[in-house]
Every structure is written in C-alpha cells, then in structure tokens.
C-alpha cells in the first residue's frame, strides 16, 4: 500500500455547491491506483444532505461509490444515517469518527477515483484504515474552520 503524504491536491481545499454550501475536502490517500478523499459540510436537513451527496458524486465522478454518514438534529430528534454505497464497512467507520467528536448537523462522505486499478475485496482490510484517516482529517479541517469562524 502506498500512501501519498503530499497529494497533488491541497490538504484543505474548499468550494461552494450550487446552493452556496461550503464543502471542505480533506487530504487524498492513494492505495495502488485508487485515490480516496473525504468531504465534509454542515447540513440542515436530510433533503439538503441528499442534494449535497448528489453534487459531490457528480463533481468527483464517484457515483458508483459514495459512502457517507450524517448526524443531524431536527427539532428534538437526533437522526443518524449512514450507507456504505459499495464500500463495505465505510459508513460504520465514518459514523464512529463523528460520534467520537460528538458532531451534529454534519455530513461526511468519501469519494474514490480509480485510474486503471482493479479492486478486489482482498484489499478491504487496507481500505478501512484509509477511510478512517481521510475522515478524521476532514473532521479536523471542518472543526478548525468552525472554531475559527465562531470563536
């Protein structure tokens, strides 16, 4: 497994979606010819999260796989939703990372870009630590942004 410590993208890139939502991208980690990047944003509803997931999937051509997890407070109800979307175990890893920081109203998803690689389930034990790493990185980026903005 090779890990890119200095990926070609910056470790904290941001951009805005069509509705003006700020998306934070974390570092990119490479395994073989497969690149994983985490994306995080604040959300205000499940519908908003679905819209954001659609835009991220299209932007990064990651429609075949887009594991995600969200934690959202609507009224007095805590909503936690996660889906592996083809990357077995990924939503559990993302949800666990969110739970550790007690994060709410946050959506995190992982995009995967493949450049000529053939993936196999035998690499599953290598994928989950990468997903954990990119998730923790983007959580730190979002947390630092929010702390800087509101404190």
**b/e burial code for range 64-81 (CB count within 10 A of at least 16 → b):** ebbbbbbbbeeeeeeeee
The pLDDT > 90 percentage for the chain reads: 43
Rounded to two decimals, what is the model's pTM?
A: 0.83
pLDDT at 124: 66
Q: Radius of gyration over alpha carbons of the chain, in Å?
A: 15
**62 — phi, psi (to 5°)?**
-120, 40
- Asked if pLDDT for residue 53 goes beyond 70, the answer is yes
Q: How far is CA 119 from the centre of its chain?
A: 20
CA distance 26 to 50: 20
> Angle at the Cα of 45 (from 87 to 29), degrees rounded to 5?
30
């Amino acid at each position: 497994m090779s890990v890119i410590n200095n990926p070609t993208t910056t470790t904290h890139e941001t951009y805005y979606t069509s509705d003006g939502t700020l998306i934070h991208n974390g570092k990119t980690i490479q395994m073989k010819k497969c690149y994983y990047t985490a994306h995080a944003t604040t959300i205000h509803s499940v519908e908003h999260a679905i819209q954001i997931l659609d835009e991220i999937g299209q932007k990064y051509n990651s429609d075949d796989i887009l594991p995600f997890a969200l934690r959202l407070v609507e009224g007095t109800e805590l909503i936690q939703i996660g889906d592996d979307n083809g990357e077995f175990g990924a939503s559990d890893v993302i949800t666990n990372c969110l739970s550790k920081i007690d994060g709410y109203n946050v959506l995190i998803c992982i995009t995967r870009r493949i450049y000529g690689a053939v993936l196999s389930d035998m690499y599953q034990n290598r994928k989950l630590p990468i997903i954990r790493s990119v998730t923790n990185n983007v959580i730190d980026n979002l947390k630092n942004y929010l702390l800087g903005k509101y404190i």
